[in-house]
Amino acid sequence: MPVTTERRGRVLIARLDRPEKRNAMNGEMTRGLDAAMNALEDDAELWVGVLTGMGGVFSAGSDLRDANNNSTGRGGPYGVVRRARTKPLIAACEGLAFGGGFEMVLACDLVVASRSASFALPEVKRGVFALYGGPHRAAHALPLNVARELSLTGDALGAERAERLGLVNVLCEPGRAVDEACTLAARICANSPVSVRQSLRAINEALEAGDARAWEISADASRIVRASEDTREGVAAFFEKREPRWKGR
């Protein structure tokens, strides 16, 4: 399975396990992650989730060669991005979290990152659009001008700068992200699960209510970008391993 799970007491660890593709998400991975998130939500013995990637990489986002069926009814994109969760989810990041990978990180509640981690919304470099909440969720998690920088340049944000800016809760040495995430999860599990879930609800539901218009704008922006010549050129250039020749239309 391209998504594996492990239980550590009251903590469920879900691992994206397709390292040969830098854990790029396709339909099979989406179904696997959806099942893992369903198990976290539905099992009363599980109180906190940890999401990570295998092979020293979190995720490179969507597999452009196999991007169909990458959404579920309960979890939305990748089975997690628009999921209504009651239990905290911690992203444990090693290596890159780019595009949809970063959008999965932004869908989590807390972030643990090794010094090897980096985050990016590189869609503009390919003439496509970060449809899964990247621009507006980055603006919640980071200073506004930094969110603009990531969205407009497509350049990567290193873990140390991300920690200084408040995106990363715990910065650790390479190879330690999952263990440090479990330590953070244990701090949460020491508290009343009822209080934790209602505190999480008070934050997340308020944000989601304010984001309703942002999702509409994202869908419209994606429609405009997908219809452009630049999208066709950007995707072709990506597969042909060359620099794109933008036309601006």
Alpha carbon distance 240, 57 (integer Å): 24
For residue 57, give both structure tokens.
């990489």
123 a catalytic residue = yes
Considering 123, 160, 173, 243, which one is annotated as catalytic?
123
Alpha carbon distance 167, 165 (integer Å): 6
In a 10 Å sphere around its CB, with 0-12 CB exposed, 13-18 middle and 19+ buried, how is residue 187 labelled? exposed
Q: Does residue 62 contact residue 103 with C-beta atoms inside 8 Å?
A: no
Alpha carbon distance 105, 181 (integer Å): 13
163 a catalytic residue = no
Of 98, 125, 123, 121, residue with least CA distance to 244: 125
Considering 103, 208, 233, 240, which one is annotated as catalytic?
103
Coil, strand, or helix at residue 115?
coil
The contacts of residue 191 (CB under 8 Å, 6+ apart) are none
Alpha carbon distance 139, 33 (integer Å): 25
Please give the positions annotated as active site: 103, 123
